[in-house]
Amino acid sequence: MKKIFFLGLILILSCTSKPSRLPILGDKSPIEKMVKGKKVIDTLYKTIPHFHYLDQDSLSFDNSKTKGKIYIADFFFTSCPTICPIMQKNLNKLAEAFKSDSDIYFLSFSIDPAHDTPKRLKRYQSQLGVHNTHWFFLTGNRDSTYALAEKGYYVTAKSDTTAPGGFVHSGAFILIDKLGRIRGTYDGTLDEEVEKLSQDMAILKNEKE
Amino acid sequence: MNKSILKLSVIIAFIGLGLSLNACSDSDQQKGQSINNGMALFETNCSACHQKDGNGLAQLYPPLKNSTYFKANFEKLPCIIRNGLKGSITVNGNTYDSYMPGIASLSPAEIADISNYVRNSFNGLNQYTNTDEVNKTLATCVQ
């Protein structure tokens, strides 16, 4: 009898267990909405604010192009002598693994737009050996980029004449879901965190909204 | 008397031989230490771009290991480390034109150590430079 009870319990638990979901990061606030005629309290999550840049092909790129896409964002500059080479090398590994998936984008924002023109970014993309056509190297207003990094993606990016290369910035890869919400932040210089990101991308892909 | 002088000469000869062998060991030790220092300095200052194994990164940063460019231009390394490098170069048949920033904070002694590491561990050149040579080279750098 006991064996039947425990077997039943295991079966019930396995049927009702939910797939894992990634947390939703950032600011949130309560919001009222009507569901089936009843007022309920839901949660409004922070989303990435509007941005507008030029990509490596000098084409306009803004948030509308990421709607419905999962994407990884990072901040770098092409003449960076410190963390960027390992970051972009690691990001390229991910980009290569997901290059056939048109629902996954990669966005690299330049924090040195004075030097990182679209032409220079195009050359960098080629020299890095990028084959993923959904990886966009973006350049635009410098101050807007610093603000977007800090307030939009919660990472550091700013000028610093004492730093190697003249800038200081985070080595983070930020995972954004189809609704523009932050779902994870990973150290792009560490192999184990890049591997975790790869696994989380797969989890996010399988999430139902 | 002759036997005494002969014995003394043999003793002095052996002492001299011992001293010279010891000097060679010290020099080998210094070379080994320079390479060890150079490896540590390379990993701190150079490996982000050129990678720890010296094989470079894609078409962005050229290899320093088994490098045709380095073997033909190793005397220029102090100037390249101090002042950086602009313009297109060909390494092992591939063209690279990224900008390499110089590292002004590295001392001539540190530049010598990195040079010895790259010359020997990455390119098997069995050549050694020192601080004096690096200083002379740095005085001739064209910027």
Mean pLDDT of chain A: 91
ipTM of the predicted structure?
0.77
Q: Domain locations in chain B? A: 30-138
Kind and range of the H or E run holding A152: none
Give me the CATH topology for the region B30-138.
Answer: Cytochrome Bc1 Complex; Chain D, domain 2 (1.10.760)
Q: Do B61 and A85 touch (CB under 8 A)?
A: yes
Q: Domain locations in chain A? A: 47-206
- Report the CATH number of the A47-206 domain: 3.40.30.10
Is the minimum CB–CB distance between A129 and chain B shorter than 8 Å?
yes
Q: Which tens digits make up the pLDDT trace of B98-108?
A: 889 999 999 99
- Helix, strand or coil for residue A34? strand
Output helix, strand, coil percentages for chain A, rounded to the nearest 5: 35, 30, 35
Query: For residue A165, which residues of chain B lie inside 8 Å, CB to CB?
Result: 101
| Strand partners of residue A108 | A74, A137
Which of A79, A124, A126 has the CB atom closest to B101's CB atom?
Answer: A79
Taking the model in full, what pTM does it have?
0.83
Contacts of A168 (CB under 8 A, 6+ apart): A156, A157, A158, A160
- Low-confidence stretches of chain B (pLDDT < 70) are 1, 14-26
Is the minimum CB–CB distance between B15 and chain A shorter than 8 Å?
no
Q: Are A177 and A76 in contact (CB under 8 A)?
A: no
Q: Which tens digits make up the pLDDT trace of A162-205?
A: 888 888 888 999 999 999 999 999 999 999 999 999 999 999 99
